[in-house]
A and B are shown apart, each in its own frame.
Chain A
């Protein structure tokens, strides 16, 4: 069955500290992987995506993620967190065809301490 897990429900980091948000997936075919960010009451913003090729993916706002097929993981990282990064982060997995659904993880809420 297709699924996405984000082990950390809530994470608190100090501003300027590094960040890593974990994501594990289960998918029967070649996965297409995404990280989205959502501020309170807002829609989703795509941070980055992985389709193929280089397993280290660069995204917007200084975020990057690394695809590790052997671990079925796609963890999101940022070397130095800013207070404006406080939000909800969702990892998602989808398939290749037009009709493939995108399955979202439960989300990780990030708080940033000044």
Chain B
């Protein structure tokens, strides 16, 4: 259980185009999803937190208009990189967290396999 998928796994696009990445929780409902970015040989940097039915909360320094996040259902969040440029090339990882099963219990994050974006 607790599987998170991402699609596509790899994408190559031309500079100036927009790219959409999907993150799905396959066997649980995710009230909260997180989007991370990882540069080569570096750690994961949190970009934004999305909660189903509400606007995403972006981390400082992340451009809201460039990285559009939509969490339209309890199993799907999308990240759209608008007007992509070569510096947006990176590994994007999402994670999903379900609702607490018990009051006070910790609800764990489950990570997707990541999407490699290359902008030419």
**In the bound complex, CA of A36 to CA of B112 (Å):** 13
**Which of the segments A15-23, A70-78, A98-106 contacts the partner chain?**
A98-106
Q: In the assembled complex, how far is the CB of residue A15 from the closest CB belonging to chain B, in whole angstroms?
A: 23
Total B residues in contact with A, Cβ cutoff 8 Å:
27
- Do the beta carbons of B32 and A44 come within 8 Å of each other? no
**A107: B residues at CB distance < 8 A:** 42-43
Contact with B along A82-114 (1 / 0, CB 8 A): 000000101000101011011111110100000
- Do the beta carbons of B106 and A96 come within 8 Å of each other? yes
- Do the beta carbons of B106 and A104 come within 8 Å of each other? no
- Do the beta carbons of B109 and A94 come within 8 Å of each other? yes
Contacts A43-B112, A98-B97, A98-B100 given; indicate if A106 touches B43 (C-beta within 8 A): yes
Whether B86 sits at the interface, judged by CB under 8 Å, is no
**In the bound complex, CA of A109 to CA of B116 (Å):** 20
**A90: B residues at CB distance < 8 A:** 43-44
Whether A51 sits at the interface, judged by CB under 8 Å, is yes
Please give me the residue from chain A that is nearest to B45 by CB atom.
A104
Contacts A99-B49, A101-B34, A102-B109 given; indicate if A44 touches B43 (C-beta within 8 A): no
- Give me the interface of B with A, judged by CB distance under 8 Å: 31-32, 34, 41-46, 49, 51, 91, 93, 95, 97, 99-100, 104, 106-109, 111-114, 116
Given A41-B91, A96-B104, 5 extra CB contacts under 8 A: A43-B111, A90-B44, A98-B31, A102-B34, A103-B46
- Give me the interface of A with B, judged by CB distance under 8 Å: 32, 36, 41-44, 46, 49, 51, 88, 90, 94, 96, 98-99, 101-107, 109
